[in-house]
Amino acid sequence: MGNLDNKVAIVSGSGRGIGREIALKLAREGAKVVVNDLDTAPAEETVAAITAAGGQAVACAGSVTDDGFAERFVQTAVDSFGGLDIIVNNAGYTWDSVIQKMTDEQWDAILDVHLKAPFRILRAAQPVIAAAVKKAKQDGQPVPCRKVVNISSLAGTGGNPGQANYSSAKAGITGLTKTLAKEWGRYNVTVNTVAFGFIKTRLTEASADGAATIDVQGREIKVGVNPDLMTAMEQMIPLGRAGAPSEAAGSVYLLCTPESDYVSAQTLVCGGGFNF
């Protein structure tokens, strides 16, 4: 028996890193999970890990920024598992530059993936949730508490040099979260944000020469943190270290459990005690 038995979850960007750990954690607690990644192989690998452990999952590969993706993502949950109970908007990446060097393409790409994509997914989910609530009431059944967890960052709560695009998008997620908490309270949906601090992933792995990159739809995006800077950053964290992806996933899980059914419109900082 798990805390999330019979729940259906969709987790964007869950083929790798933090998103993968979120999907695995929800599945271990009994949720049926729709796994998404930009690429098919990582999504299928996460699905395989879940099913090998006795859970249930399906893949929905593709870019969250593509037209029509949001509807396909939501419909995959309905078609595969019969409903939708948990939405985790996690997909994203960074494309940094100081503002005088930041291009419109950089600005638009990061706003699209971190703010427009979650908006579209939530918009696509509304008819499904509203219909399920209406049916439950007509059948005289209690309306279960559904969960939305939007992923933000300390860059969104306090800003970060070189990340005007990312910080703006993540700050926007807070506004989206608070608005949806008010709009969807009548459906018994809680809507919260988790703001991550320094979590060790492939996007933050030490890169002494600054040459590490990832490919995002044909764009080569620089990633990685200089080892000296990483050490300095960890010294600023009261717990004295960066977080692990599994720990980041744990904070998301907290807001998906029945114990958080009366918590909504909040931002939970997962940063080892560091905050701006």
Q: What tokens were used for 186?
A: 């009548």
Q: Is 175 exposed, middle or buried (0-12, 13-18, 19+ CB in 10 A)?
A: exposed
Q: What tokens were used for 261?
A: 């059914």
Q: Scanning the structure block, which residue is given the tokens 């800077």?
A: 229
Nearest to 89 by CA among 108, 67, 105, 113: 113
269 in Cβ contact with 234 (< 8 Å) = no
Q: Is 229 exposed, middle or buried (0-12, 13-18, 19+ CB in 10 A)?
A: exposed
Spatial CB neighbours of 164, under 8 Å, sequence gap ≥ 6: 98, 99, 102, 107
Active site includes 166?
Answer: yes
CA-to-CA dists, residue 172 to 103, 149, 155, 238, angstroms: 20, 14, 11, 27
Catalytic residue among 93, 166, 187, 253: 166
Q: What tokens were used for 74?
A: 């939501």
- Mind telling me the catalytic residues? 166
